[in-house]
Chains A and B, each alone.
Chain A
Amino acid sequence: MTTNMAKNPYQQVPDAEGRFGVYGGKFVAETLMSALADLEALYRRLWADDAFRAELDADLKHYVGRPSPLYEARRWSETVGGARLFLKREDLNHTGAHKVNNTVGQALLAKYMGKQRVIAETGAGQHGVATATIAARLGLECHVFMGEEDIRRQALNVYRMKLLGAEVIPVTSGSRTLKDAMNEAMRDWVTHVDDTFYIIGTAAGPHPYPMLVRDFQSIIGRETREQCLEQAGRLPDALVACVGGGSNAIGLFHPFLADTEVAMYGVEAGGLGVETGKHAAPLSVGTPGVLHGNRTYLMQDEDGQIQHTHSVSAGLDYPGVGPEHAWLKDIGRVNYVSADDDESLAAFHALTRLEGIMPALESSHALAYAARLAADMSPDKIVVVNLSGRGDKDIHTVAEIDGIEF
C-alpha cells in the first residue's frame, strides 16, 4: 500500500488568499485590509493554542451549556413515515440558537485583541442577541445593526438586546433587512476600525470570517458525529440544515464532509416559491458575484444589482450565502434545495404539536425538507436535522399569519 495518502481536501480550504475554489476572498475597501490581516494572524495563532481552545471549550460547556442533545423525534418520525429523524438541539443553547457558538469564540478574539467595542449585524435578531449577551458578560460596548423591517417583525429580540445593554441601530437603507444591516455594520467598522471588533454572524463576509465562523460552529458537527455513533452505532445517512448565510449548516456539515456515505442537504428559503422570484435561494437559482467581501452565489439582476429577497423567516432573508457553500455546491458534495414559506410553517406546527418543541422559522425550513426526504427512505435510515434555534421569537409572526392579534 502506498503511504502517500490523499489529504482530506475539505481541510485544505480556504487557501492562503481565503478562497474556496473560486469563491471567498477579501473584497473590501482598503481601509479594512489591515484589520483583516491582523485578525487572521491572531486567529491562526490562537486556534492552534491549547490554552485558548481550553478557554473556549470551558465557555461552551459552562456558559452555553454544551454539548447540546441529539434527540430522536419518534412521534414526528412516525407521522412522517420512513427514516428515523434525529434533531440536533441547538435551540437549547443559551440564548436559544446556534449563533452563540460563534459569538463566544469571536468575543474571545476581541478580548485577546484588546478591543472594547463590538458591532454586529442581525436579521432575525438571534445573532444580535447572542452578541449582546456575550458583550454584557465581558463588559464590552455593543452596537447591533438591524434592518427596520426586521425590527418590526422581531420586536421581542430587539427588546432583549436593549435589556442586555446593547444599542440597536435601525437601518433604513435599501431593503431594510439583513443585507443592509451588514452594509451598515461594514460602514461602522471602517469608521471605528481601531477600537472595534466586528462580530460577523454568518459564515460569509471577507476572509478570514467564513473560515473562523465555520471553525467555531463546527462544534455542532463534531458533537453530532460522536452522539450518532453512540446512540445509533453508526453515522447518519443524511444531514439537513437550513441555509441563509449558512453558519449552522457549515457547522453541522464540515466534520462529515470526508464521510462520503453521509448525504447532505442545505435548505434555502423558497419564500413564495422559487418560480415566483420572491425567495431567498441564491444557491438554487442565483449566479456567482461579489457582495459583502466575498465571491459567492447571489440573487442579482442582469446589471449586477442585488435583488430583494423574501422569506417568512428574517434569518434566511439574505441574497448571498457563505462561500464554502458555493464551493460545496459546485463540487457536488452538498445538495442545495429549498422549502417554501407554507411548508416551513406547516413543519413549525407539526414539530410543536408532535414533539413539544417549537422550532425557529429558519430551522423549520430544514424540518420541512427533512420530512420530504425521510418519507422516501427506509426505516433503517437515519436523518439528522439541525434544529438551529427555538421558535419563541417567531410566535408573533406565526400569530399574525394565523390572523391573531395580541
Chain B
Amino acid sequence: MSRIAERFEALAAKGRKALIPYIVAGDPEPGATVNLMHALVAAGADIIELGVPFSDPMAEGPVIQLAHERALEHGTSLSDAMAMVSEFRQQDADTPVLLMGYANPVERMGYANFADRASAAGVDALLTVDLPPEEVAAVNKELQRVGMDNIFLIAPTTPGERIQQIADSASGFLYYVSLKGVTGAGHLDSAEVAGRLAEIRACTNLPLAVGFGIKDADSARAVAGAADAVVVGSALVDAIAGQLAAGADLEQAKQQAQDLLGAIRSGIDSL
C-alpha cells in the first residue's frame, strides 16, 4: 500500500479529513522549504503538496505565479525540489509528499529518470496540471513501475463518462478542482461542489480532495463535509509572502502559515 493510501485509511478510521497544504519549492528561498514543510506538518498537515517551479504556470492565479517567479529567481529546479523532499524524509518518514507541476520539467528530465529519482527521494505521487488522461500513458507507466501514485484532476466541466475514465486510471486520490478558474480564485460554490463530489463517488472508491479557492477555515469547512481532503495553496503562499513583504522574518512568516493552517485544521475537525 502506498504512503498516501495508508494515510487516508488511517484518517478514515479516525473519522478525520485530510488537510493538504501547497507551497512552491524554493519560495521564498530554497533554504526555507524543508523547514516550512516540517512546520506545516506540525500545524496539522496530513499530506504535503510541493509545487515544482515552472516558467509558464498556466493554471495558477497571480499569487502562485509570483511564488513560481520567486523560486525561479533562485534557480530552483525539479532536481532541487526532489532534493528537498529527500532532506525532509530524513526527519519525516510518514507524511506523504506529492509533487505538483507542469509537464515540461518532467519531460525534460525524462519520465523514467524522473520516476527513479523521485521515488528514491521519497516522493509519493505526481500531479501534472497539463497531462490529462489522453497524454499521461507514458509517464503513468514509469510511475507504476516505481510504485508512485498519479494524481488526476477532475474539473467542473468534466462530463460523467470521462470521470469514470479518469477514475479508472487514477491512484492515491482524486483531486476535484472546485471552480472554473485558476488557483486562488474567489468564486467557490460549496453546494455545487458537494453535488459534483457525489457524482464522482458513484464512479470510484478513491478518496476525493478538493482544491482551488479554499482560503480559510470557513471555506474549508464548507467543502470538507462532502470531501475526504481539502487543499490550501494560494492563501498559504499569500500569508507567507505578505508577512515577508511587510518586513517580517522567515520565522514570523512560518508562524503565520502555521496559524492559518491551524485555523483551517480546527475548522475541518469541528465538522
Q: Is B177 an interface residue (CB 8 A)?
A: yes
Q: Are B182 and A25 closer than 8 Å at their CB atoms?
A: no
A337 on interface, CB distance cutoff 8 Å:
no
Chain A positions 1-38 with a Cβ under 8 Å from a chain B Cβ:
17, 25-35
Judge whether A290 and B107 touch: CB under 8 Å.
yes
Which residue of B has the minimal Cβ distance to A289?
Answer: B104
- Is there contact, CB below 8 Å, between A183 and B104? no
- Which of B139-193 touch A at CB < 8 Å? 152-159, 162, 166, 177, 180-182, 185
Contact with A along B220-259 (1 / 0, CB 8 A): 0000000000000000000000000000000000000000
Among the listed B56, B65, B155, B158, which residue makes an inter-chain contact with A179, where contact means beta carbons less than 8 Å apart?
A: B56
Q: Please indicate which of the listed interface residues B78, B107, B152, B156 has the most CB atoms of chain A within 10 Å of its own CB.
A: B107
A298: interface (CB < 8 Å): yes
Q: In the complex where A190-B59, A191-B182, A291-B56 touch, is A34 in contact with B107 (Cβ < 8 A)? A: no
Chain A proximity of B95: nearest CB distance (Å): 26
Sample of 14 A–B contacts (CB below 8 Å): A27-B103, A28-B130, A29-B59, A30-B154, A34-B157, A34-B158, A187-B61, A190-B182, A191-B180, A290-B130, A291-B104, A300-B108, A304-B109, A305-B53
Q: Is B209 an interface residue when CB atoms closer than 8 A count as contact?
A: no
Interface presence of B131 (CB below 8 A):
yes
**Chain B window 175-217, contacts with chain A (Cβ cutoff 8 Å), 1 for yes, 0 for no:** 0010011100100000000000000000000000000000000
Q: Which of A32, A190, A194, A292 has the most CB of B within 10 A?
A: A190
Q: Quick check: B180 and A303 within 8 Å, CB to CB? A: no
Chain B binding site: helix, strand, loop or mixed by DSSP? loop
**Chain A nearest Cβ from B142, distance in angstroms:** 16
Least CB distance, B239 to chain A, in whole angstroms: 21
- Which residues from chain A contact B182 at a C-beta distance below 8 Å? 187, 190-191
Interface residues of A (CB under 8 A from B): 17, 25-35, 173-174, 179-180, 183, 186-187, 190-194, 287, 289-293, 295, 298, 300, 302-306
When C-beta atoms are compared, the residue in chain A nearest to B131 turns out to be A27
Inter-subunit contact A26/B134 (CB<8 Å) = yes
Interface residue ranges, B against A (CB under 8 Å)? 53-61, 65, 69, 72, 77-79, 102-109, 129-132, 134-135, 152-159, 162, 166, 177, 180-182, 185
Residues of A within 8 A of B158 (CB): 30, 33-34
Measured in the bound complex, the distance between the Cα atoms of B129 and A203 in whole Å is 22
Instruction: Enumerate chain B residues within 8 angstroms of A292, measured Cβ to Cβ.
Output: 56, 58
A183 contacts B58, C-beta separation under 8 Å: yes
Across-interface contacts of A191 in B (CB, < 8 A): 180-182, 185
Give Cα A404–Cα B168 distance, bound, in whole angstroms: 64
Q: Lowest 10 CB-CB distances: which A-B pairs, in order? A: A304-B108, A304-B105, A31-B155, A303-B77, A191-B181, A290-B103, A30-B155, A30-B153, A305-B55, A27-B130
Q: Are A17 and B134 in contact (CB under 8 A)?
A: yes
Report yes or no: B65 in contact with A173, Cβ–Cβ below 8 A: yes
Chain A residues with CB under 8 A of B54: 304-305
Residues in B neighbouring A302, C-beta threshold 8 A: 108
Q: Which chain B residues border A305 with CB–CB below 8 Å? A: 53-55, 72, 77, 104-105
Once the chains are docked, how many angstroms separate the CA of A179 from the CA of B104? 15
